[in-house]
Amino acid sequence: MVTDPRLSVIARRLSGIKRIVAVTGGKGGIGKSLTSSLLALTLSRMGYRVGLLDLDLSAPSTHVILGIDGVYPKEEKGIIPPEVHGISFMSIIYFTGNEPAPLRGEDITNAMLELLAITQWGSRDFLIVDMPPGIGDASMDVIRWLKRAEFLVMTTASKVALETVKKVIKMLDELNKPIIGVIENMKMRESSSVYDALHEFNVPLLGAIEFDMNLEDSIGDANALVRTTVAARLKEIIVSTPGFNLEH
Amino acid sequence: MHEWALAEAVIETAIEESRKEGLEEISEITVQIGELQQIELEVFHFALDEIAKAHDEDSLLTNAKVRLETERAIFKCRVCGTEWDYRDSCVGEDEGEAIHFAPEVAHVYVRCPSCKSPDFEVIQGRGVLLKAIKGKR
């Protein structure tokens, strides 16, 4: 018998967290990381105790979006993520720096498992998880390990994004995983394509976030980010979504 | 003390496994420690003892002895097939610390000594594994 002990301790590490929201979607570039970051920031500004876990190990970017730099976890019976902008923030970048991390699937699985096994989140209202893209090894691992996760699915109106997002929803459905809903991101024109694509699923379309060509100017500045139209629209959506059940 | 978190995982797993095997008392837990993770053995042993004591509501772990076995970390390059020992890699203190927390980041700091590729396999000695439990049924 040789057993990996880390799996047994994940539930204990997450036990102080009331809700886990995993932000997912089929393709890269549809705004998972930005939405995860803004969601964490918005909930934190609303007074919730929030953690943000970047599990996109091949291309971690939430630290860039939130302008997180020069901080490091504290070692205490595991590692305690530093609190930045009111968010407990955990990412592989603490250990890779700005160097590329050429990790294969098995390495990504191992590294994610390590982070989940050693991170002491303490007591949190929400843990927001920036999921790896697609439905490969990494996503399947996270779905298996984060048993209480509820999924927020991002898409754009592009046929290319929708084709994959339908597969993600089908898979989550098949695994009986709760889906809070779908958000159409970077909306550029009126179209019912997202609504139409979802008609075969019992999953709510929570709303659309219009494309903001000035958003890039606020990347790296948390205070500027919360003032963007994208952040304002995301807040409207989550506040009006029964699945989020926010006290406001 | 990051070792504490891993020790906690070992004890939780030992309890789970002993229940599966119908053990009423654990006499020995053998833990394999891969050198890549650079666990401090004394600290880890201390953490295992303390956590075992704290978990011992039903005397399962009262007489449990912990054996730690270390395993050399060996890499094999996926490009040219070279095998080498982590001890022979030139890794600085900060990089070693990062590898201690997440051994996979070795791929960021270590290169194949022959072809300089970062695409290698850790063929043994990655991290902490529960190797065996002995006990009475």
The predicted complex's ipTM stands at 0.93
Residues from B contacting A (CB-CB < 8 Å) are 1-2, 4-6, 8-10, 12-14, 16-17, 32, 98-99, 101-105, 107-109, 118-119, 126-133
| Residue B48 and residue B31 in contact, taking contact as beta carbons nearer than 8 Å | yes
Please give the average per-residue pLDDT across A196-225, as a whole number.
Answer: 96
pLDDT, residue B54, reads: 87
Tell me which CATH code domain B3-72+125-136 carries. Answer: 3.30.2320.50
Helix axes A229-240, A32-45, angle to 10 degrees: 70
State mean pLDDT over A141-164: 95
What is the residue-wise DSSP string for B22-72?
A: T-SEEEEEEEEEEGGG---HHHHHHHHHHHHHHT-TTSTTTT-EEEEEEE-
At residue A1, the pLDDT reads 78
- Average of pLDDT values for A158-171? 94
B-chain CB neighbours of A92 within 8 Å are 102, 105
Q: Grade residue B35 by pLDDT with cuts at 50, 70 and 90.
A: very high
CB within 8 Å: B1 and A114: no
- Cα end-to-end span (Å), chain B: 34
Query: Chain B: nearest CA to A2, how far in angstroms?
Result: 4
- Taking an 8 Å cut-off on Cβ atoms, the answer to whether A1 and B132 are in contact is yes
> How far does B123 lie from chain A, in Å, by closest CA?
12
pLDDT in tens, A26-70: 888 899 999 999 999 999 999 999 999 999 998 999 999 999 999
Instruction: Please give the pLDDT value at position A248.
Output: 58
Q: Which residues of chain B form CATH 3.30.2320.50?
A: 3-72+125-136
Among A5, A94, A107, the residue with its CB nearest the CB of B104 is A107
Rounded Cα distance, A201 and A185, in Å? 19
Chain A residue nearest residue B21, CA to CA: A1
Sort out which chain B residues have CB atoms less than 8 A from A99's CB and list them.
108-109
Query: Strand B74-77 to strand B120-124: parallel, antiparallel, or no bridges (unpaired)?
Result: antiparallel
Answer yes or no: is pLDDT of A247 > 80: no
CB-closest option in A1, A13, A99 to B108: A99
Q: What does the alpha-carbon distance between residue A170 and residue A174 come to, in Å, rounded to a whole number?
A: 6
All structural domains of chain A, each given as residue ranges with its CATH number in brackets, are 5-240 (3.40.50.300)
Question: Residue A2's pLDDT is what?
Answer: 87
Provide the 3-class DSSP secondary structure of residue B101. Answer: helix
Kindly list the distances between the CA atom of residue B51 and the CA atoms of B15, B55, B137, in Å, as whole numbers in the listed order.
12, 6, 22
- Residue B22 scores a pLDDT above 80: yes
B88-108 mean pLDDT: 93
Query: Does A117 contact B104 at a Cβ distance shorter than 8 Å?
Result: no
Q: Which of B50, B69, B105, B133 has the most A C-beta neighbours within 10 Å, making it the best mutation to test the interface with A? A: B105
For residue B72, what are its two tokens? 């050399």
Query: Which of A164-168, A244-248, B62-66, B102-106 comes out lowest in average pLDDT?
Result: A244-248
Closest-approach residue (CA) in chain A for B15: A8
Query: In which element (H, E) is residue A225 found?
Result: helix A222-226
**Whole-number Å distance between alpha carbons of A72 and A68:** 10
* Chain A residues with beta carbon closer than 8 angstroms to that of B105: 92, 95-96, 101, 111
Q: Which residue on chain A is closest to B2 by alpha carbon?
A: A78
A19 CA: distance to closest CA in chain B (Å): 22
Beta carbons within 8 Å of A74's beta carbon, 6+ residues apart: A80, A82
Q: pLDDT tens digits, residue range A74-119?
A: 999 999 999 999 999 999 999 999 899 999 999 999 999 999 999 9
Residues, chain A, total?
248
